[in-house]
Amino acid sequence: MFFLNVLKNLIFQYPKLFFSNLIVFITLGFIEIITLVFIGSFSSYIFENDVSDNKIIGSLINYSSKYLSLEFFLILFVIVFILRSIIEILSNYILLKSKYFLIESNIIKTFNSITKTKFSFFKKFNKAETLNILNKEILKIGDSYSTLIRMTKPLIQIPMIIIIPLIIATKEIIFFGVVLFLFSIPIFFLGRIASKLGTEDLHTSNQFSKKLYDTLKMFSAIIGLGFEKKASKEIEENFMFHKKAAIKYHLLSSSIGLLYMPIGVIVIVLFFYFFKNVGTNITILSLIFYSFYRLIPMIGAVLSNKTELEGYYPAHQKINEIKKFSSNEYYSHSGSKNINRINNIQLKNTYYSYDNKLYVLNNINLTIKQNKILCITGHSGSGKSTLIDLIIGNIKPQFGVIIIDNAPIETISLDSYKNKISIVPQQTEFFNASILDNLKWFNPKISIKELDEILQKTDCISFISKFNNGLETIIGDQGIELSGGEKQKLSIARALTRNPELIILDEPTSSIDNFSEKNILQLMKKISKNTTLIIVSHKKSNLEIADDIIFLNKGEVSGYDTFQGLLDKNIEFKKFFSS
């Protein structure tokens, strides 16, 4: 049962949180008992009814009504309700802290599990869906736990409220309970509908997030081609589907308590009318009436929370699916040896397959020399990106070995290795923040002096100095305020802030003009005097500056030489280059 699974997770994963809420709820339950005794005593005092035939509770009520003054009752009434209000506020505070602690914990746990998976994760879960899950659906996990805690509150208070009326009027309370239960049966079955509506809400939410994400990625093309109305219409249509699903789900969840209230009121009125006519003691009736007045909204809240909780089931399923997939695809690495320098990298007889069937890299043998430029080139799908992932330790080969400075990669600490590597991706990614914040993101501890040296070396200073705010200039989403060449230089400068020994550049001059390209190539030659560079490219200008070129063809090393050497000796490379 989903309710029990959520409860078990809450108790075993967050015991302090659960039991702190439990203590507050039990305290509120005792206040309800005190309030009931007060109501009974006050009623007996006003109407001069004797309920001494009801043993302990009756004796307590009779004693209070006979020996305590009206002033005492009024003061006690005020104190009890003030105390209850204070504890209710405390309960809400603890509940809110619990909810957001649970959300924070689940976001961090889920994100960490994603970061530790193999790269196959985003083949199963696209980025838009993952973003929606981390941003929205995981909030439902927190909501489900807080709903369960809210549900626990009346479940604890209900038996504590009912105990005094049950002792005083056992038959009447049992009769009332049976009638109320029979009236409530139809509402119990609404949970299944809520679960289906919750699934529809999740699906349409993911679809809307995907459409929004894809549209924003193509924003420049949409504006440039005049497709604004088309894009707007598609987003509107996707949101309409989500809106319909969300309204149905949230309307049902919020209506359960409201549906239950008239049922409870009808039962109370019939009960009060029937037992008053058969001569039931007015003090007992007042106790029962107040108990029912408190119980009806509580029972309604339990049913409403139950339905709401079942509506969160699809979100739990999706998060559990991600966690299960992440654990199955977990990238384990037990190496602990720290490396001082990356003097050389060797791949020997290396094979790799994503599905353990078809090898995308076959028998790769190469040596990456220190402070040299290695260029990896080949047709699309030849295995260039996979080879880079192997080199930097993102994936493991099925066969063969990768040796870093004479040590197998399995034995070294990946953290110590990756701390010496920087990457310049083909699509330059920047935060919508200042130039300084973007540069320091790779290395927050870098000094202004070191940063200035890097900016001079990469010639970034030439365009940064033109901005009124210099390094504090906000460059916009994805660096929209910069030209292609400026973004590429800044991306290289950011890579250098880590003081890397190896820089990997993916098509570093693919989206810039000839003048900017010439500057970038000169910059790469300058950097290679102290740093090893691996360039993934098919452009002649990039290949010409390389000391060595690996030519991949269908996952195999088809050529390994200088640019001119490959042109002279390798027919496949010559065909590839001329095409």
Q: Tell me the per-residue pLDDT of 443-498, one tens digit each, with 9 for 90 and over.
A: 888 998 999 988 988 888 988 988 889 889 998 877 888 888 888 889 889 999 98
CATH at 441: 3.40.50.300
Q: What is each CA distance from 561 to 8, 350, 524, in whole angstroms?
A: 62, 19, 19
324 & 464 share domain: no
> What does the DSSP 8-state code read for residue 398?
S
CATH at 182: 1.20.1560.10
Q: What integer pLDDT is reported at residue 57 of this predicted model?
A: 55
Domain count, the chain: 2
Q: What integer pLDDT is reported at residue 549 of this predicted model?
A: 92
- Enter the tokens of residue 290: 């107040």
Report the alpha-carbon distance of residue 169 to residue 290 in Å, rounded: 14
In a domain, 333, yes or no: no
User: Which of 270, 301, 328 is the last residue in one of the domains?
Assistant: 328
Q: Tell me the per-residue pLDDT of 418-433, one tens digit each, with 9 for 90 and over.
A: 889 998 888 777 888 8
302 & 400 share domain: no
145 & 51 share domain: yes
366 & 261 share domain: no
Q: Which residue has the tokens 């040596």?
A: 367
Q: What integer pLDDT is reported at residue 400 of this predicted model?
A: 92
425 & 521 share domain: yes
Q: How many CA atoms lie within 13 A of 94 on its CB side?
A: 19
- The three-state secondary structure class of 259 is helix
User: Which of 293, 328, 363 is the last residue in one of the domains?
Assistant: 328
547 & 455 share domain: yes
In a domain, 339, yes or no: no
Mind giving me the DSSP string for 272-305? HHHHHHTT--HHHHHHHHHHHHHHHHHHHHHHHH
Domain interval for residue 201? 2-328
290 & 376 share domain: no
Q: What is the mean pLDDT of each run of 10 residues along the chain (579 residues)?
A: 72 81 86 76 60 53 59 74 84 81 79 69 70 75 81 86 78 76 73 78 81 72 70 84 85 72 72 64 72 79 78 79 72 77 91 83 91 91 89 88 90 88 84 88 89 88 89 84 85 90 88 79 88 90 90 90 88 80
In a domain, 338, yes or no: no
Show Cβ contacts of residue 215 under 8 Å, excluding neighbours closer than 6 positions.
222, 231, 234, 235
CA of residue 234 relative to chain centroid, distance: 26
- The enclosing H or E element of 400 equals strand 399-404
Show Cβ contacts of residue 395 under 8 Å, excluding neighbours closer than 6 positions.
118, 119, 331, 352, 386, 389
Q: Which residue has the tokens 């890097």?
A: 454
Q: What integer pLDDT is reported at residue 54 of this predicted model?
A: 52
Report the alpha-carbon distance of residue 464 to residue 460 in Å, rounded: 6
Q: What is each CA distance from 569 to 255, 366, 406, 471, in whole angstroms?
A: 78, 18, 31, 49
320 & 385 share domain: no
Q: Which residue has the tokens 């504590």?
A: 160
267 & 313 share domain: yes
Q: Which of 391, 414, 421 is nearest to 498 (CA)?
A: 421
User: Which of 294, 328, 362 is the last residue in one of the domains?
Assistant: 328
199 & 233 share domain: yes
